[in-house]
Amino acid sequence: MENSKQAVDSYIDYLLNNKGYSINSCNSYRRDLNQFVKFLDEYEGTLDEVNEPFFRQYLAYLHQLKQNKRSINRKIISIRGFYNFYIKRNNLSMENPLINISLLKTDKPLPKDLFMEQMKSLMNITEKQYELGKRNQCIVYLLFQTGMRVSELCNLKLYDVDLEDGSIRVIGKGNKERIVFFKDNAVELLNEYLEIIRPKLLDKDNPTDYFFLSNNGKQMSSRAIQYLLQARADAAPIPFKVSPHMLRHTFATNLLNHDADLKTVQELLGHESLSTTQIYTHVSKKRLKEVYEASHPLAKNLNKNVNKE
C-alpha cells in the first residue's frame, strides 16, 4: 500500500494527465491535501483509518485557524475527490469518509468589473520599454475582448490564433476546447507583436511556440500578467486595484448588458454549468423592467388598454 505522500502524488498526476486540470489547480489541490496529511500525521493516523468523526475534528481545526468558508469548502472538495480516487485505485471496501460532509453555506459575492475609464487606462502604454509595452497592450486587448482566463492566455500557442478569422482556439478547464473571438482593432496590434516584437523576445537557442513570451523568451506566467496589469492600473490618473479575472468579469457583464443571451456567454466563457454564468446577470432593476415591458406580450397589451382608457 502506498504511503500518504505517494497517494497524493498519484492523485495529482491523475488530475493533471487524465482529467486535464491546470497546473495552478493541481497546486491548489496539493496544498489542501498536504495540509490534511500533515494533520493526520500529527495524530499518527493513516489514510485508511480516517472516518467522518475524525474529519469533523479536522474541520474544527480549520475553524480554529480562522479559515474562511470558501477556503474550507475548497478543502472539502479536494479531499472528497482524493478519497474517491484513493478508494477506487486501491480497491478498498471502506466508504468515503466525506460522503456525508456538506459544504458550508456562503454568500456568493457579485463579480467585480471595471469601468470603461479604467479599461482605457489599462490599454494605454505606460512601460518605458516599447516592446514590452506593445506586448502588454495585446494581452490587455485579448483578455478584455475574449474573456479568456489568464491561464488560458498563458497557454496559447501560435497555431491557436487565427488573425484572418479573428478567432482563437482555447483549451479550457477539463481540457475542453472552445472558440473565442477578438475585434478588428486587435488584429493590427497582434500583427505588430508577431512580426516585430515577438522575434525580439524569442530565445533563438531555446525557441518556443507559446504565443506570448516573457522578456527572457519563455512562456509568460499568470503572476507576470497580474503584475503588468497592476502596474498599468497604478499609473492611471486615479489608481485602482485590478486582476486578470476582473477583465473576464467585465467582458461577461458587457455582453449581457448589451442583450447577449446567457447561453452564448456561457459558451464564450467556457463554463460547464449555466448557473456559474448567472452570477454575471447583476443588471439594474430598471434594465430588467425595460426588457420586461418591451418583451412581454401581456405587458404590451395592458399598456395599450390603459392608454385607450
Active site residues: 149, 173, 245, 248, 271, 280
Give the list of residues 6+ apart from residue 209 with CB closer than 8 angstroms, or none. Answer: 157, 158, 159
| Cα R_g (the chain), whole angstroms | 24
Cβ(156)–Cβ(211) under 8 Å?
Answer: yes
Residue labelled with grid coordinates 516584437? 197
Q: How far apart are alpha carbons 178 and 168 in whole angstroms?
A: 8
CA angle 264, 119, 141 (to 5 degrees): 60
The set of long-range contacts for 18-21, using a CB threshold of 8 Å and a minimum separation of 24, is 19/174, 19/175, 20/173, 20/174, 20/175, 20/176, 21/173, 21/174
For 177, list phi and psi in degrees, rounded to 5: -100, 140
Give the list of residues 6+ apart from residue 92 with CB closer than 8 angstroms, or none. Answer: 48, 86
Distances (CA, A) of 129 to 123, 133, 135, 186: 15, 6, 10, 20
Q: How far apart are alpha carbons 233 and 239 in whole angstroms?
A: 5
